[in-house]
Amino acid sequence: MRIARRSILHGCAALALASAQQAIVAAAEPLMLWDAAVPLPTKAAAPVLADVTFHVIKQRRPDTDGCNWTLGVGLAWHHGKLYASYGFNKGGENTASEEAHVRVSEDGGTTWGPTVVIDAGAGNLGVSHGVFLSQGDRLWAFMGAFYDAFQKTHTRAYVLDERTGAWQTRGVVVDNGFWPMQEPQKMADGNWIMAGFRVANGYDVVGHLPAVAISQGDDFSRWDLVVIEAEPGLGDIWGESTVIVEGRRITNIARYGAKPVALVSTSDDSGRTWTPATPSNLPMATSKPYAGTLSTGQRFLACTTTADSGGNRAPLTIAVSRPGQPLFSKVFVVRHSVSDKTPGVSDPRADFSYPYAIEHDGRLYVGYTHKSHIANELAVIPVAALKAD
């Protein structure tokens, strides 16, 4: 048992109890994500980004490949190529016939090469969507996997053989329910942090809580799982999460599940101990979020965050802060459900699930899935267009 120092933003110190499996620090008050001095716009009032280009990564084609479900775009640039992975299933979501697929683009997402299977699982093992890490000359993939009907979730690692295009398995690297949602990021202490959540199904634990995995230096075959407890009384949550890394200070933003509001928690010791996940002042659709820091010094959050969207996953938005500031203060619409700019889905019912974003050469590449229409797409946004007032 030890004392964890709280930042000035949150008040005085609190008692912390930590282990590799879970760590919490009592929060004095909810944490804010949105600048309360700025009115949060409605979906109709939020400005729509100009000069965005849209591309299709994978559409539902049961006539050619039997695809009945796909979700969870993961993106990475590696050796000048853009990689996009996603979960694929000829059956239903979260069943053992799930597979991890990837496609590669050599022209920034305009066109895509053939589908490559990272792992098709076997028997009662399903392998699904996950994240990448381009490190040195290697491209790693960390994919969520499970047994039977979404039981005993865990994370499996793979390394690309660039000579053959095949993926070499490195086996299970995080167990006990962890599903990765964001690529590993290096922290001030030399370890890497990978955001996700802990699925309780099949384990002797309670709650589908936000979680992170922390590496042991640059060894990507061994990770410590740290589960972020929720503030008491929140009820059911589905804690798919993302992190913003700023030295030793880490901010975790998570999906609530029961309510359309972002949960937030912070760590001041490189992800080892956390304040409880607490409702913030930012409405957010009940979908996986993705956050980070742009090269401009602005925080960003891709999801659906408007004053009146509720739990609906539309429109697709990006909230940004002013450079160097911790609070989001402007929301841009990437696209509405009906759009004449996309070669993909345009329909009043179109939704935008599980966004993922990476910056490269002055552009932000945002992958997302139309879950209702079974399609994975890509938006390419000039970073210069994401200025906050």
Sign of the CA dihedral 161, 162, 164, 167? positive
Residue 32 lies in a domain: no
Rounded to whole angstroms, how far apart are CA atoms 219 and 39? 45
Q: Give the residue among 73, 50, 109 at the shortest CA–CA distance from 357.
A: 73
210: CATH? 2.120.10.10
Distances (CA, A) of 74 to 65, 119, 159, 178, 374: 21, 15, 15, 16, 16
Confidence band for 7, pLDDT divided at 50, 70 and 90: very low
Residues listed for the chain: 389
In a domain, 341, yes or no: yes
User: If 0-12 CB within 10 Å is exposed, 13-18 middle and 19+ buried, where does residue 156 land?
Assistant: buried
pLDDT at 60: 76
Determine the residue type at 258.
Answer: A
Residue 24's pLDDT is what? 45
Read off the pLDDT band of 29 (50, 70, 90): low
Residue 320 lies in a domain: yes
Residue 240's closest CA among 160, 164, 172, 153?
153
Res 142 pLDDT > 90: yes
Least confident of 15-29, 83-97, 217-231, 242-256: 15-29
Burial of residue 389 (CB within 10 Å: 0-12, 13-18, 19+) is exposed
pLDDT band at residue 63 using 50, 70 and 90 as cut-offs: confident
Residue 28 domain flag: no
The Cα–Cα gap between 145 and 172 comes to 9
List pLDDT tens digits, range 236-270.
999 999 999 999 999 999 999 889 999 999 999 99
Residue 146 domain-assigned (yes or no): yes
Domain limits for position 156: 38-385
Is residue 125 a part of any domain in this protein? yes
Q: Say whether the peptide bond before residue 315 is cis (omega within 30 degrees of 0).
A: yes
Residue 16 lies in a domain: no
pLDDT of 8 higher than 80 = no
pLDDT at 116 over 90: yes
The mean pLDDT of the chain is 92
Query: What does 178-208 look like in DSSP terms, one character per residue?
Result: EEE-S--EE-TTS-EEEEEEE--TTSS---B
Please tell me the total count of domains within the chain: 1
Q: How confident is the model at residue 30 (pLDDT cuts 50, 70, 90)?
A: low
Whether 14 maps to a domain, the answer reads no
